[in-house]
Chains A and B, each alone.
Chain A
Amino acid sequence: MEFKVEAHRIMSISLGKIYNSRVQRGGIKLHKNLLVSLVLRSARQVYLSDYYQGVCLNAQTMDTAQPWPPGETMDSELDENDSREHELPHEVGSDVRTSTPERPGSPVPALLNDAVAAPQPVAPPQLPSRRCSNAAAREGEANATRECGALGGVESDSDTPSNPPAASFCRKRRSCEKMTTPPPESPLKKIKQQQQPTATTNTTTTTTTTTAAQELPPPVGDGEEEMDTSNVSSLISIFGSSFSGLLGKESPASEPGAEDSEPDPPSGQICCEQVLKNIAPWSTAIVAF
């Protein structure tokens, strides 16, 4: 458990550093950002593997809720995040998302590439809610497979650099809603909430890692989920899409396959499985349910 907390803290700090490097004098330092991204990757691996173990344990013991540390409320984070919704985190996330995935051993988010090669200021991201509705609309017509495959990685059809992470997060939930029967949705949400580790007191960095907290519907029924690090969780999943090449056994070569043209359009069920595979740590829990 301590590893998870530590890993989470290190991830927050790393993201803060990547952010700050963009405004530093002299331009982005490639070396330092590469090292920071390596740390971020290591921390994320520990974080996810720790979570994965925790979830397995929970699944086995049928224990659905973990106690939350007091004092961390999602609402307060949401308030804080409101003002920051359009700021850096979107830039960070959006730049990361523009990285065409996933080759193994590619720790450097595309933001560095963008920044070093052609650092135009990132276009102000649109409101996430709007994006979500676009996503939903697109979902209606688009090939479900393509989306599912794209969820693990970057939507190949998206050319705009300022694709907020909210979109992907929204879509993950919605596609799951669509594809699966309702019950898995709440476990999914529950598991998401369970995944949220104790946030550290490093508020400045945690707020910079906010993403689409507003997108998540408030937790249902469960009186214990006050805390939030859904922000970091979202970021993790987003980074997961960029770093999935580094995940090794978690998202193997099937992912690039999913990125590219699907050989046969899978049914909704298989599609969901693919999505779940991409949301690696949650897959086992959902299967258990």
Chain B
Amino acid sequence: MRWFGFGFNAFTQTYVQEKSGEEDSCSSEREVKVSVPVELHSHALRGRISASWSRTASLFLDQDQCVYLAGFCASISSGSSGPVTVDTSGCKDAIISETHLSLAFPDRIESWDLQSKNEAPSWRMEINTQSENSDLKLPLVPGGYISSKSPVFHSLSSHLQAKSLALGGEHAVLLTVAGAVYTWGQGSHGQLGHGGLVPEEEPRTVEALWGMSMRSVAAGGWHSICIGDGGDLYVWGWNESGQLGLPSRGLRKTSQQKTDPQEAFLTEPPSKVSTCLGEELHEEVFISIQAFPALVDVSPPCEIRTVSCGSRHTAAVTTTGCLYTWGWGEYGQLGHQTTTSLDEPQCVEFFSSQNLHVVDVVCGPWNTFTAAVKKEVH
């Protein structure tokens, strides 16, 4: 399996280009914004990647099961930004945030403060190796979940029967064993999917999805996605850069005038807070906040296998091995050789042109990582 990365690379966390003898500080736009997938050579193995804004954490499951960090490493090494090893042998899962690296071992969970020079984790929890919780994926841990802000551990009621958990910018999306979706946290951009803009302190079921079984959930800065059993995609939350795959007024304005994209968003009036599920749109209606789940069409019609969200973009892999991306593209994180943002899912041509079958995708806040294998020739 081969891993590829594209998007924000100012900390050379995606890949390192050969320097032509110039100072590090003279990064060109081409180096900072990687808009075409680049292969991560050290990742030709079965592994897992987690990315924060300035770093990438890679876990290799086949070999020594160690976690490698790339990107901004000022507190770990002496200031150079090459891949650095943290003593993590036997690690089976890892997630990274801007301030913390969390590691799951068979017998314990650890959280390391990346900003301190401590030799020990800042938080630690023993786990029972016998329990059936051993296949939980971070940030889920036995009895609850962990976050990078204090308090680290949050308990979750066992009756929820959590299967997977996605932590967004300031909200959480939980998938249960039964296929139901719960959300909590801030709701000011509709990211909880309950139809309003108010926060929820406790997990609350997304009623609009009641009766439908979901198989996967993802969360971005201010948006949420889930995949239904049949492979269809439901989205809700903020759409200021088209990250929901619904028409975004801010994008139309940006394409007309070359203004600061961030300012174009602020110039966009919140033209519609959409409150209907699967509403037929007969005329062009722009959506800036989608407060209830909406169905997104990927065309040509296909079944989605896995999805991941960055801060303001989304990436989805189909069962036929295509990668679709949409949303904020300013740093090349959509992989279409441009830095344009899109409000419609678009296939990343690179993979099919290289005869590659995409099998997985993981997004960092401003970048995207995909795993692909060579297509079998029939």
* Real binding pair: no
* Residues in A lying within 8 Å of B, measured CB to CB: none
